[in-house]
Amino acid sequence: MKTLLFYICMTIAGNAMAQTQTWNLRQCIDYAIEHNISIKLQENNVESQKVTLSTSKNSRLPNLQASAGESLSFGRGLTMDNTYTNRNTQSTSFDINTNIPLITGGQIPN
């Protein structure tokens, strides 16, 4: 009885583990190419080099930066007469910078 139960269990387990679809050689090769880590790394390297090329081409263009700032300070302070006074201070700043490459020594060929 134990051997019969063993054979039944092995038959069920064997069928559960079997693949339902068979692959031909072309499907195996396509799957290997799609899931190859080396190929994916090379594709990422190509994309990285494209970004680097675009960045170097754009370095020929002028660079313009602008910023603005606001500061407000308020509180009480002690004067030299030993009295307290209220002090409010406000400051605003604006900044514009631009860079343009005039002479690069041939470092930006494109």
**Tens digits of per-residue pLDDT, 23-72?**
899 999 999 988 899 989 999 999 999 999 888 888 778 889 999 999 99
Whether 93 is covered by a domain: the verdict is: yes
Over residues 89-98, the mean pLDDT reads 94
Residue 106 has pLDDT above 70, yes or no: no
pLDDT digits (tens, 9 = 90+) for 51-62: 998 888 887 788
pLDDT of residue 79: 83
How deeply is 107 buried, as exposed, middle or buried, from its count of CB atoms within 10 A (0-12, 13-18, 19+)? exposed
> What's the domain count of the chain?
1
Whether 25 is covered by a domain: the verdict is: no
C-alpha 43/C-alpha 49 separation (Å) is 10
Tell me which residue of 64, 86, 83 sits closest to 75, measured CA to CA: 86
Per the prediction, the chain carries an average pLDDT of 84
Percentage of the chain beyond pLDDT 90 is 35
Token pair in block for residue 91: 């400051």
pLDDT of residue 100: 83
The residue range of the domain holding 77 is 66-97
Whether 5 is covered by a domain: the verdict is: no
Whether 39 is covered by a domain: the verdict is: no
DSSP state of 104: -
Whether 85 is covered by a domain: the verdict is: yes
84, 68 Cβ separation under 8 angstroms: no
Whether 44 is covered by a domain: the verdict is: no
| Residue 93 C-alpha from the chain's centroid | 33
Whether 53 is covered by a domain: the verdict is: no
Whether 74 is covered by a domain: the verdict is: yes
Over residues 86-101, the mean pLDDT reads 91
**What is the phi-psi region of residue 98: left when phi exceeds 0, alpha when psi lies from -120 to 50, beta otherwise?**
beta
